[in-house]
Amino acid sequence: MSEEFEAVIGLEIHVQLNTRTKLFCSCPNTYGEEPNTVVCPVCLGLPGALPVVNEEAFRLAVKVAHAFNATIHQESEFYRKNYFYPDLPKGYQITQYTRSIATDGVVEFDIDGKKRSVRIERMNIEDEAAKSIHTEDGSVLLDFNRAGIPLLEIVTRPDMRSPKEARAFLERLKQTLKYLEISNCDMEKGELRVDSNISVRPVGQEELGTKVELKNLNSFKAVEDALTYEFERQVKAIKNGEHIVQETRLWDEGARETRTMRAKEEAHDYRYFPEPDLMPVSIDEEFIKDSLKNLPELPWEKELRFERTYGLKKSQILVLTHEKDVADYFETLVAKLKKLTSKAQDAVKLAANWMTTEILRNLHESGVSISEFKFKPKDIAELLSLVLKEEITLNIAKDVFRKMQETGKGATEIVEKEGLKQVKDTDFLENVVKEVIEENPEIVEKYKKGKTGVLGFLIGQVMKKTRGKANAGIVKNLLEKKLSQ
């Protein structure tokens, strides 16, 4: 990245609201049905069909607006955005244009330990287009099941100064939308889509450079990659004395570059006008209050509570609270584990470490979510309680966890059947220690000459002989005692 120049980035996000039915008709809002089976005259745009506004879409939008501290407008209005495209049966999209449900919000997030905030300019409720499917033989198929699903359009101010920051913003936004349960935000299913614009200017310059729009960003990684490519392309062009052309460019994932899609001259005139089939929408304070009932704890509130309640490191808190279900699992695990042991603080620490390493790695490797994870918090609490009671070592616990996954059996059963209980028998361990000392005269010599670092090696040898079951603390004491004689 060039240090003489900075990026000025704005984002436009479209997220499908998971209402029960579509925005202007009673067709169910579903995914994956047989093409063109979830349609009616309204969402097919047949002549004479009249739209009716879905109240639930407004409730969900109000939640999002509230979460990001935006001004909620009691009066909003739908407009027609006219353009001609095969996936748009009506010949226009119905959107809120300038009379939005909400304006002036802010999204706060951490990046490299620093607080950042990005302003939201507006949020609009609008309807989704049909889905075009491009086949190999070059024809285009249309699935109208998607037509009319409610979207929330979220437009930011150009407040981001690097591609990395844009990605961090998107992660926070998606996390919050998922916490609010207003959308599944699955980008592969198109439930969340991102367009971006970026211009470049010398650091310190107030005036904005020429803006380029980026499309076809199918993942947050693609957003970051495309913006990085585009930033470098623009800086290079400016340094070469070229003019940046105002245009829309497509991100080509395969070629890892952006390409011109359409220039400004070809831009559409959408001929917006108020939707004559719908009255302006009016929501009263009662409606807003009602929509905000049972609002869940939001990510930043949970982070703060985790810090106060559990006293964990910030990095660990961010991992544990990234997904609501993971945070819930952790809290249940801690509660169950505390019931099985008197060491409350150790229980929290061990549960946090186990969650952020073993369990999340396991989920990542097997590609399942925490809700699909086959072990419930009580199963893991049983395993970890054995560690806290010093019945098994941490290393053995990892083995037991592996065996739990292979056999589906409980931790206690595995430990008992396989004789994995920690060896704390001092007489027995003393003999093993003696053996190890006899077998490693050179190492012992080094230790006696002051290289006490070799103690770890000797402990390791005792562990090997006891198949990892020896209590490390006892072994260390025994070794030190014997070696000082």
Tokens representing 342? 């008197």
* Shortest spacing between CB 132 and Zn ion, in angstroms: 18
Q: Which is nearer to Zn ion, 51 or 468 (CB)?
A: 51
* Shortest spacing between CB 129 and Zn ion, in angstroms: 14
Residue showing tokens 């929509």: 291
Q: Which is nearer to Zn ion, 47 or 453 (CB)?
A: 47
Q: Which stretch binds Zn ion (CB under 5 A): 35-43, 155-163, 374-382, 405-413?
A: 35-43
Helix 324-340 / helix 344-354 crossing angle, nearest 10 deg: 140
Q: Which is nearer to Zn ion, 23 or 350 (CB)?
A: 23
25 is an interface residue for Zn ion by CB under 5 A = yes
DSSP letter string over 166-224? HHHHHHHHHHHHHHTTS----GGGTSEEEEEEEEEEETT--S----EEEEEE-SHHHHH
What sign does the dihedral 476-480-481-482 (CA atoms) show? Answer: positive
CA distance 169 to 162: 11
3-state secondary structure of 452: helix
Q: Which is nearer to Zn ion, 52 or 203 (CB)?
A: 52
Q: How many CB atoms lie within 10 A of CB 338?
A: 19
Q: Are 7 and 244 in contact (CB under 8 A)?
A: no
Q: Which is nearer to Zn ion, 147 or 462 (CB)?
A: 147
Q: Pattern 193-232, binding to Zn ion, x per CB under 5 A? A: ----------------------------------------
Show Cβ contacts of residue 231 under 8 Å, excluding neighbours closer than 6 positions: 1, 2, 5, 7, 163, 198, 200
Q: Which is nearer to Zn ion, 25 or 479 (CB)?
A: 25
Q: How many CB atoms lie within 10 A of CB 420?
A: 21
* Shortest spacing between CB 64 and Zn ion, in angstroms: 24
129 is an interface residue for Zn ion by CB under 5 A = no
Q: Pattern 134-173, binding to Zn ion, x per CB under 5 A? A: ----------------------------------------
Among 15, 23, 43, 411, binds Zn ion (CB under 5 A): 43
Q: Which is nearer to Zn ion, 40 or 370 (CB)?
A: 40
User: Residue 455 burial (CB < 10 Å; 0-12/13-18/19+)?
Assistant: middle
Q: Which stretch binds Zn ion (CB under 5 A): 42-50, 61-69, 161-169, 379-387?
A: 42-50
Q: Which is nearer to Zn ion, 43 or 470 (CB)?
A: 43
Number of residues that bind Zn ion (CB under 5 A): 5
Nearest alpha carbon to residue 261 among 272, 247, 271: 247
Q: Which stretch binds Zn ion (CB under 5 A): 3-11, 32-40, 61-69, 451-459?
A: 32-40
3-state percent breakdown (helix, strand, coil) of the chain, nearest 5: 45, 20, 35
* Shortest spacing between CB 35 and Zn ion, in angstroms: 14
Q: Which is nearer to Zn ion, 15 or 25 (CB)?
A: 25
Among 40, 187, 298, 335, binds Zn ion (CB under 5 A): 40
27 is an interface residue for Zn ion by CB under 5 A = yes
* Shortest spacing between CB 153 and Zn ion, in angstroms: 21
Phi, psi of 370 (to 5 degrees): -60, -30
* Shortest spacing between CB 39 and Zn ion, in angstroms: 6
Burial 233-272 (b: 16+ CB within 10 A, else e): bbbeebeeeeeeeebbbbbeeeeeebeeeeeeeeeeeeee
Name which of residues 318 to 377 contact Zn ion (CB under 5 A): none
* Shortest spacing between CB 258 and Zn ion, in angstroms: 36
Which residues of this protein are in contact with Zn ion, per CB under 5 A? 25, 27, 40, 42-43
